[in-house]
Structure 1
Amino acid sequence: MQPLRWLGILPGAWGVRGETISKDELCVTAIFSAYNYISFKGDPEKGMWETRCRNPFKVASIYASSEIYCHDEERRTGLTQLAKLCQEVGHSELLSRAAVAEHLTEESIRNMRIVDYLELSRVNYQNTPVLLSASYFNRMFDTIDSWQFETWSHHAFRYFQISYVGYAYWAGILSLGVLYRLYGWMLLGRQQHIESGLESTIYRSIWRRLSFLECVVHWILTHLIILSPLAGQGRRLIGCTFPSRADALAVGGFWILSIILSVVGYRTFQGNIYWPDVTSQILRYSADRTGIMSFANFLLLIVFAGRNNILIWATGWSFATFNVFHRHVARIATFQAVAHSVLYFVIYIRVNKLWKEITKVYILWGVLTFILMILVLITSLDRMRAASYELFMVAHILLSVITLVGCFYHTIVFEGHEYWEYLWPSVIIWATDRCLRIVRLVYCNVHVRLSKGKFINVTESRMTYDEVADVIRLEVTPGMPGLQARPGDYYFLYQPFRFTGWENHPFTVGAWSYESDPRGAPLEIVGKPWDSIDNSQLPLLSETIFSHRSLGGRKMPFQQSLIPKLTFWIRPYNGWTQQLRKQCLRVSNQPVHTTMLLEGPYGHNVPLWRYESVLIIVGGTGIAAAVPYLHDHLQRSTNHWSDTSEEKLQTREIELVWTTRQPAFLRDLADRELKQMLDREDFRASFYATGSSDRFREDWNAVGYTVQMGRPNLQSIILSHSCDTSAAGMKLAILVCGPTGMADEARAAIHLARQQGYQNIEYVEESFTW
């Protein structure tokens, strides 16, 4: 324990490390703290710890008052602790009782002068020991006891905030996600046992006993997960955007919890020696607590912000959901920092010490940090991000780093640097995430081949822009030939050789194909030349040269590694995507070869193959989320996928509902990525164009495809599918990826269907915005 020497307005306060003294120590502590307001002659005459430990009149007074007001155990424990503090803090030995024994006889103590609080002036040095009055002792005891309680409560709330309340709160929320994911795996395992005829009587009995879980999960999905925050309000609630009602409830609960912890638990009383009036006590206690809790939230907001977040894998929730958590924890931390700063300004003004305190270096760092946190909050608002995402990213990272540095220097005055325990873990997690991102960048874009000479493969890319479709097609060949891809993957794309080459933006992998390595021998699979192999016969991506990959239980030898080519569809808006459009327009009718770097893959795969019926609803470039699942269905439906595979295809029918403004984009994908699916009997497609004309309608009819003008009636489509699949005893999965309005319309329809009793509906939403 260290003395609170850094605050002149708290003479005699005990420690700064949040360590509370025991009740047995409190009696002696109150006594030697009370003597700070009384001066004594003798050697030494000045210095808080020097006089406490070595001034014979003050030490004799401490011994004498301890005899009067403290029990034996309190006196023994308290004096032992005082002697320890004299050594560790005062760097001197406490005068022994024998050294001042002449002042401690019964007669001497009986004849000592009894003094009250502020009865003696600090400039009036006493040349004999004095006793504390009972009222003075009780007042100081209550003052120290109150401060100890507040210190305990601040740090208890601080530790609760991380380990018990704050962390426990989010641990509870995240545990629900983990349990739901485990529940899904259990359902899958049960389904596989039923299909294979291996479900035992005990297993069926267990599921019957747990049947109430299905009702609980159904209610949660229907009323919390699927619905938007408020009916009729879309995703906006109190000026904030939430993907679902569950997200709004989780964030709202943390707001309420943080407010409660900031305002409750203060112990105040009139006559406090440090702060005589109750208002001053509340100002000081709340200023300390809000500052501590703001620091406590740093770790949470850093964890939620990371791309390489293990919690995303554990819960199956999207990065967008954790981004919502990150934003609100950051806002709470900022408001707590604002409260901390404003309250201290008020305190300094009340004691006429504003200019004196604000000129101190650590206070200036605190003011800078306070301002920077407000700037981070302002630049993170939805409108600011939409207006200039690049400016937001640069400002967000730069200001956040300076803020963290400012926090270190603001708390550097604390002996032991106790509050750095929040900052260093935040720095480590942030740095680890950045390092992992660099590792992903190197892994995806650079590959050194040692066979047949030393070659270095790097990522290659080309892009074309279709003015009629208003879509950029970006094709990227990663430097890593064995890079795996799967539905649901997205990458952050960099264009490094620009002035702002650090900018990166997330895009979903819309499709992929395979090419043989031009520097090696022709690829053969199962004795067939490469040119005769259909993509649907291949696994998602190959592995290394001469490797074997199990495809549905069959070993397929690869005499050479396949090189993947990833396709991204980018709608040009403002900023970087608009610059890509301009680059393409500079070269008419020619692909633009440019350097792109990939960071990833991120995202998670939804096992749509488990559902007998699948309905996919997408808007615009949201088709990028659908095509990979359609290709996955193609691969699983080939005879190469063994019927004994654990991932046996269950899907009997798939319907795609795609709405876009430009019919040219529809045609482009229908003639390329969707062509194989359009020829299948188990697939139906409904295309809608919102910005078409009669000429486009005739063109579509001429090639055998139909496109409907306007927007689909999603409620009718979803209710119809729900009714048909329920009647057939099939499970239905609905995947939605599109603008917020489309997704909310689909949500409302699914909610209505579940209310009507169609429970076998799984709703999956891929984020259309970031």
Structure 2
Amino acid sequence: MQRSFLFAAVALLLSPWAGMEVAAAGKATSDCGNACSLALIYTNFEGGSTKQNRYVQQCTNNLAITSVYACMESFCSPAEIDVGMNALNEQCDEIAGKSLPSYDSIIKGINLNELQHLSYANHTRPVKGPVVPTLDLYQAAFNTMHASTDQQNHDGIYSYAMSGFWAVVILFGMCYRLVAFFTHPKPKTTQGTGDVESHDEKRKIRWHQKITKLVNKHVVLPAAFGNHHQEPLGWFMVPTRIQGLFIVAFVAVNIALVACNYEIFAQNLYWPKKSLQIWRYLADRTGYLCFGNLPLVWLFASRNNVLLWLTGWSFPTYNMFHRWVARVATAEAVIHGVCYTAYALDVGGSQALKKDYHKLYWQMGVVAVVCFGLLMGFSLLPLRQKCYEFFLVSHIVLALISLVALFYHVAIFDGEYDPYLWSCVAVWCLDRFLRLARVVIINFKALVLQDSPARCYYSEEADMIYLELEPSFHLKPSAGAFYYIYFPTWWGRWESHPFTLSSWSYGNQQSFLDRLPRENSFSKDDKKGALVSESPASPPDSVKLTPVSSPNDRLKLTFLIRPCDGVTKHLRKTISKTPNKLKNFRVLVEGPYGQAEHLNGYERVLYVAGGSGITAITSSMLSLANRAETKGIKCPVPKYLHIVWAARQSGLLREVFETQLYPLMCRLAAADAGVTITVELFHTQGNAETPVPVANVNEHPAMTVRQVVGEQPNIPEIVREDATDARDNMAIFICGPGRIADVTRSAACEAQMLTAARVDFFEEAFAW
């Protein structure tokens, strides 16, 4: 008994239509009456008009009505007749505006034995009197009706299965994040080494650790294939292996749902030829699946996506999902159009196709498919990188055109498919509203009071723009946060790009720009807003340690911007024309976005940066320094910090080291947090005669600075050595170009089995 109840409960949960089946058990349905109606729908009764709707004919033509009643009398039970009559009356009220005559009054006036029988073979011929379908025609009608109804039910269920699939993926991400939260390394508050296990004991990998490490090495961390993830493989970005498994499963589910569960048979009244059934069913199925995927395309592309917070996955992860769901939806839209074209040709040749092309719903479907194709083409990586502004504008315009076209495409179905499309509209509008709200709140002074311009300086030696701004309203800054900065363009439009927060300061704290050398220092004149020189910041050998100010003080955010093409290139050109390469700009900022990585619980942290990727490392170290100064022993920072930074420009190495890295190192050392800091600076484009980037570095027992000229860092060897030395737990944090990021990821995979210590990998990246 318990086993039967359990089976029934599981079946009810797993089958979306099981509830309907149970509810309908033992009750009469309208199927029999509808089958009789369908059996005679293509019969030409005398007195009927060929231009008249065939279903209207069954509500107005006495011969058709009598024949349907005779069929119900022959094949339906009394209960089925009552339900069938109610259904047919409702249909006639809706499409013809009249009710059917009484069933009993018609049946009493006819003799079923005297009526002519109409078989499947001749069911479309003209008749001059009432007829009754034969069993084969009734069965063909019944099978046709059920096949069509089941097909529509399956299509609808399968379209919602797309959301169900990703709900399972999101649930997995939430569970993984929950487990990661409870197993995250906890800060150790004890001092000394007396409570630490022996070094040899730490080296022994236990069986449960081995399982976790193998999963990380072969499933979670590596690229799907090869060593490409952040670095493109040709024109495409390669997902990580765990992302790839989700994507492959999603594509496989779509293929399976397109290919399965069709009932094809010869005596189909709607589509007598099997080829017509195949074309029509495939067209309908792919159309449903495409619509089921569309809300996911819009959701995964939004910045204010609640799934980012639920799973802790990065925006690039959802951007990867967005692209693949869009590709699948586009493929389904193309198949949908091809199958309907083949269907029209199979029905009536080129004339039928030409007739369909003049219908609005067909034309709008073509527009939508063309827009989907253009969206795919304009989203190719080379175009995104070289012409990002064109990609962005075309993406928005084509997406909106396709959405409007789809509303017209399905207008003939009286709103049946509108919920899919309105879901896209709702997601887009909500995301835009939240983005606008962020911009207005954070930039109130800049928008309303015309105040708080951003201070910008371009360093030609470093080929870097240093931007500092004061938001009107702010949340507490955190390491790993990134902001969208809006720049005014020469053609009157505001254009936004994401940048990682490099540092922040409050009140009396020196900001990054305040610590630049004399020729680079500036402030805003109170009267004219001009940029004037100030006294230089103290050199690195006499860094002034400024205490942490109250968060209620004015906040300054600092960003490092590498000039590329487009608006950043224009920004560099504009600043370069000004005296001392200093200028005030009116910019807007939107944020913060991103997930903060908490590294204070790790014993050892290896930072790897390439070029301007140092911004993520400086913000992380600033967070650690603030924590060490305010919480001290109650929440200690990692005991070992190893920073490996490679850059082509010696000016970038020197400026950021002297104004950000070295002051932060001094703050950590002065906080007496027991931190040992090792910094390796690689000037990759130097040679044997090139001087080291930083000339004078004060020696400190807790700090070591190594400078290498003309070489690339050996990331695998560095990771291997640090992992071998790790006793408790270790974090590897990378922010830099795709090539160095992928090398570091691969090295982190190999490091899993080198030590019993936990080795976690964090990547700070933003993919277009």
TM-score (norm 2): 0.83
Correspondence for 2:620: 629
Report if aligned partners of 2:140, 2:269 keep a CA contact under 8 Å in 1. yes
Moved more, 19-28 or 597-606: 19-28
Moved more, 250-259 or 90-99: 90-99
Instruction: Go from structure 1 to structure 2 and tell me whether the alpha carbon gap of 1:693 and 1:476 turns closer, same or farther (over 3 Å shift).
Output: farther
Aligned-pair identity in percent equals 30
Secondary structure of the residue that 2:120 maps to in structure 1? coil
Within 2, Cα distance between the matches of 1:76 and 1:632? Answer: 75
Q: CA-to-partner distance for each residue in 1:390-415, whole Å, 9 max, x for gaps?
A: 10000001110111111111111102
AA in 1 matched with 2:116: R
Determine whether 1:40 maps to 2:45. Answer: yes
Correspondence for 1:379: 378
Which of 100, 108, 128 is the aligned partner of 1:94? Answer: 100
- Structure 2 unmatched ranges of 5 or more: 1-19, 192-205, 510-523, 527-537, 670-674, 699-704
Within 2, Cα distance between the matches of 1:287 and 1:49? Answer: 25
AA in 2 matched with 1:331: R
Correspondence for 1:391: 390
Which of 255, 260, 263 is the aligned partner of 2:259? Answer: 263
Within 2, Cα distance between the matches of 1:43 and 1:365? Answer: 34
Correspondence for 2:745: 747
Correspondence for 1:224: 219
Which of 644, 650, 657 is the aligned partner of 1:670? Answer: 657
Correspondence for 2:16: none
Q: CA-to-partner distance for each residue in 1:458-516, whole Å, 9 max, x for gaps?
A: 44112122222111111222233x44311111111111364252321000011122346
Q: Which has the higher contact order (CA 8 A, sep 6+)?
A: 2
**Alpha-carbon distance, 1:238 to partner:** 9.6
AA in 2 matched with 1:685: V
Secondary structure of the residue that 1:505 maps to in structure 2? strand
Within 1, Cα distance between the matches of 2:234 and 2:102? Answer: 66
Secondary structure of the residue that 1:24 maps to in structure 2? coil
Report if aligned partners of 2:223, 2:241 keep a CA contact under 8 Å in 1. yes
AA in 1 matched with 2:595: H
Instruction: Go from structure 1 to structure 2 and tell me whether the alpha carbon gap of 1:488 and 1:519 turns closer, same or farther (over 3 Å shift).
Output: same
1:383-532 matches, cutoff 5 A? 383-415=382-414, 417-447=415-445, 456=449, 458-480=451-473, 482-496=474-488, 498-499=490-491, 501-515=493-507
Instruction: Go from structure 1 to structure 2 and tell me whether the alpha carbon gap of 1:220 and 1:239 turns closer, same or farther (over 3 Å shift).
Output: farther
Moved more, 25-34 or 83-92: 83-92
Which of 242, 260, 272 is the aligned partner of 2:268? Answer: 272
Report if aligned partners of 2:227, 2:746 keep a CA contact under 8 Å in 1. no
Q: CA-to-partner distance for each residue in 1:317-364, whole Å, 9 max, x for gaps?
A: 110111000011011111111110111111112223111111111111
Within 1, Cα distance between the matches of 2:693 and 2:321? Answer: 47
Secondary structure of the residue that 2:631 maps to in structure 1? coil
Secondary structure of the residue that 1:463 maps to in structure 2? strand
Correspondence for 1:12: none
Corresponding pairs, count:
684
Report if aligned partners of 1:536, 1:631 keep a CA contact under 8 Å in 2. no
Instruction: Go from structure 1 to structure 2 and tell me whether the alpha carbon gap of 1:274 and 1:195 turns closer, same or farther (over 3 Å shift).
Output: farther
Report if aligned partners of 2:720, 2:754 keep a CA contact under 8 Å in 1. no
Within 1, Cα distance between the matches of 2:189 and 2:708? Answer: 42
Determine whether 1:651 maps to 2:638. Answer: yes
Q: CA-to-partner distance for each residue in 1:717-750, whole Å, 9 max, x for gaps?
A: 1111111112xxx211110111111111112211
Which of 117, 120, 133 is the aligned partner of 1:117? Answer: 120
Moved more, 620-629 or 747-756: 747-756
Within 1, Cα distance between the matches of 2:398 and 2:167? Answer: 29
Correspondence for 1:355: 354
Determine whether 1:78 maps to 2:88. Answer: no
Report if aligned partners of 1:493, 1:599 keep a CA contact under 8 Å in 2. yes
**Alpha-carbon distance, 1:243 to partner:** 4.1
Determine whether 1:150 maps to 2:151. Answer: yes
Within 1, Cα distance between the matches of 2:714 and 2:581? Answer: 39
TM-score (norm 1): 0.83
Q: CA-to-partner distance for each residue in 1:6-48, whole Å, 9 max, x for gaps?
A: xxxxxxxxxxxxx999983222212111222223346999543
Report if aligned partners of 1:298, 1:422 keep a CA contact under 8 Å in 2. yes
Report if aligned partners of 1:613, 1:654 keep a CA contact under 8 Å in 2. yes
Instruction: Go from structure 1 to structure 2 and tell me whether the alpha carbon gap of 1:64 and 1:676 turns closer, same or farther (over 3 Å shift).
Output: same
Instruction: Go from structure 1 to structure 2 and tell me whether the alpha carbon gap of 1:515 and 1:118 turns closer, same or farther (over 3 Å shift).
Output: same
Within 2, Cα distance between the matches of 1:333 and 1:212? Answer: 43
Which of 586, 589, 592 is the aligned partner of 1:598? Answer: 589
AA in 1 matched with 2:578: V
Report if aligned partners of 1:508, 1:625 keep a CA contact under 8 Å in 2. yes
Q: CA-to-partner distance for each residue in 1:83-133, whole Å, 9 max, x for gaps?
A: 2222233321111124324533xxx211111122363665x451x311112
Which of 596, 609, 619 is the aligned partner of 2:600? Answer: 609
**Alpha-carbon distance, 1:230 to partner:** 1.2
Correspondence for 2:12: none
**Alpha-carbon distance, 1:694 to partner:** 4.3
Secondary structure of the residue that 1:651 maps to in structure 2? coil
Within 2, Cα distance between the matches of 1:212 and 1:296? Answer: 44
AA in 1 matched with 2:486: Y
Report if aligned partners of 2:188, 2:601 keep a CA contact under 8 Å in 1. no
Q: CA RMSD in A?
A: 3.0
Within 2, Cα distance between the matches of 1:716 and 1:502? Answer: 45
Within 1, Cα distance between the matches of 2:29 and 2:618? Answer: 72
Determine whether 1:641 maps to 2:647. Answer: no
Within 2, Cα distance between the matches of 1:386 and 1:606? Answer: 28
Correspondence for 1:60: 66
AA in 1 matched with 2:307: L
Q: CA-to-partner distance for each residue in 1:561-584, whole Å, 9 max, x for gaps?
A: x22221111111211221111112
Which of 274, 281, 286 is the aligned partner of 2:282? Answer: 286
Secondary structure of the residue that 1:495 maps to in structure 2? strand
Instruction: Go from structure 1 to structure 2 and tell me whether the alpha carbon gap of 1:239 and 1:150 turns closer, same or farther (over 3 Å shift).
Output: farther
**Alpha-carbon distance, 1:634 to partner:** 1.5
AA in 2 matched with 1:606: E
Instruction: Go from structure 1 to structure 2 and tell me whether the alpha carbon gap of 1:370 and 1:500 turns closer, same or farther (over 3 Å shift).
Output: farther
Within 2, Cα distance between the matches of 1:485 and 1:121? Answer: 76
Report if aligned partners of 2:726, 2:757 keep a CA contact under 8 Å in 1. no
- Structure 1 unmatched ranges of 5 or more: 1-18, 197-210, 450-454, 521-530, 544-561
**Alpha-carbon distance, 1:295 to partner:** 0.7
Correspondence for 2:764: 766
Secondary structure of the residue that 2:765 maps to in structure 1? coil
Which of 233, 237, 243 is the aligned partner of 1:247? Answer: 243
Secondary structure of the residue that 2:456 maps to in structure 1? strand
Instruction: Go from structure 1 to structure 2 and tell me whether the alpha carbon gap of 1:471 and 1:214 turns closer, same or farther (over 3 Å shift).
Output: same
AA in 2 matched with 1:397: I
Within 1, Cα distance between the matches of 2:236 and 2:53? Answer: 55
Report if aligned partners of 2:679, 2:706 keep a CA contact under 8 Å in 1. no
Within 1, Cα distance between the matches of 2:424 and 2:749? Answer: 40
Report if aligned partners of 1:54, 1:93 keep a CA contact under 8 Å in 2. no
Secondary structure of the residue that 2:494 maps to in structure 1? coil
Within 2, Cα distance between the matches of 1:193 and 1:765? Answer: 24
**Alpha-carbon distance, 1:703 to partner:** 5.6
Report if aligned partners of 1:83, 1:94 keep a CA contact under 8 Å in 2. yes
**Alpha-carbon distance, 1:429 to partner:** 1.1
Q: CA-to-partner distance for each residue in 1:535-573, whole Å, 9 max, x for gaps?
A: 65215x613xxxxxxxxxxxxxxxxxx222211111112
AA in 1 matched with 2:503: A
Instruction: Go from structure 1 to structure 2 and tell me whether the alpha carbon gap of 1:47 and 1:618 turns closer, same or farther (over 3 Å shift).
Output: closer
Within 2, Cα distance between the matches of 1:698 and 1:192? Answer: 37
Within 1, Cα distance between the matches of 2:458 and 2:752? Answer: 42
1:79-228 matches, cutoff 5 A? 79-104=85-110, 108-117=111-120, 119=122, 124-126=126-128, 128-159=129-160, 161=161, 166-188=162-184, 191=186, 217-228=212-223
